[in-house]
Amino acid sequence: MSQFGKLYGVGVGPGAEDLITLRAVRVLQNAATIAIPRRDEFTPSVAWRIAEPSVGEITGQERIFLNFPMTKNPVLLRPAWDIAFREIETRLRAGKSVAFVTEGDPFLYSTFLYLREHAQEHWPEIEVDVVPAVSSITAVPIAAGVPVADGQEKIAVLPATYGIEELRSVLKIFDTVLLMKVSSVMPEVCDLLESEGLLDSAVYVSKATTQQEKIVRDIKSIKNDRCDYFSMVVVSKRTKSGVLRGKLDTFVIPGSTAPEVQA
């Protein structure tokens, strides 16, 4: 039996308190320490806001808040991570389990991925376990009432702040495109969608599954608004859907003129 504590990455879901999984609650309730990321000491942790009602008060459990500034600048982020690594490592080497909470899923654009990479490189003797979660890439389309894929449709997921230059080509190749974190680039997104004739195929959703959920189907109306950080634009062309409804002409085997349905 290992003398070290176990490190958990725990996804708590897209925002609604009742979408956290039973496994996540069990792990969080049994962890010696819960590590809680937040923007700064003045801003509540989104992940902990989701998890706290289900976890409750646990006698003897330690909860540590770790500050990560909202920036892509490594000069500013590295000191914050150094503190987080040190705080977490101290507890793991003392034999205490540590559960790091993250909104959404731990393997999808998550802060936890940096911690996992560091653990694998610097703490190879530490066991790491990951608890998956309901992800925004499924929760947001459901909130918008837009099916992600049917039949032979292809899906793309990309963060708008990194992928705006590639979006035009992505829209041509993929049938459904999920643009995450569109808040700072909504004007560019709207202009591009309009030039491609896809404004009517796009839906904006912010804070999906929460009491503050907002859905906008005329996204041009919010083009110049200050949009929420937790937002997504779903673009769905729906030109290849229908195989499962008996539209056999949408799927043809290469080299053949006869349509076929796959089970």
Please calculate the CA angle 84-87-91 and round it to the nearest 5 degrees: 135
Which CATH number is 136-241 given?
A: 3.30.950.10
Which pair of structure tokens corresponds to residue 118?
A: 């560091």
237 vs 164: CA distance, rounded Å: 18
Task: Give 7-131's CATH code, choosing from 3.20.20.70, 3.30.450.40, 3.40.1010.10, 3.40.50.1820.
Answer: 3.40.1010.10
In angstroms, the Cα distances linking 52 to 24, 47, 110, 162 are 11, 9, 19, 32
Instruction: Give per-residue pLDDT as tens, 80-138.
Output: 999 999 999 999 999 999 999 999 999 999 999 999 999 999 999 999 999 999 999 99
Could you tell me the residue ranges of all domains in the chain?
A: 7-131, 136-241
Instruction: Give per-residue pLDDT as tens, 204-220.
Output: 999 999 999 999 999 99
Looking at this protein, which amino acid is placed at residue 60? G
Alpha helices, DSSP H, located in the chain: 22-30, 46-55, 74-93, 112-122, 136-144, 160-163, 167-173, 186-195
Enter the DSSP assignment of 198: -
pLDDT beyond 50 at 262: no
Average pLDDT over residues 20-27: 98
pLDDT beyond 70 at 149: yes
Indicate the pTM of the whole model. 0.86
| Three-class HEC string of 225-254 | CCCCCCEEEEEECCCCCCHHHCCHHHCECC
Share of residues in the chain with pLDDT > 90 (%) = 76
Residue 33 is predicted with a pLDDT of 98
Residue located via tokens 């080299």 = 255
Average pLDDT over residues 174-184: 92
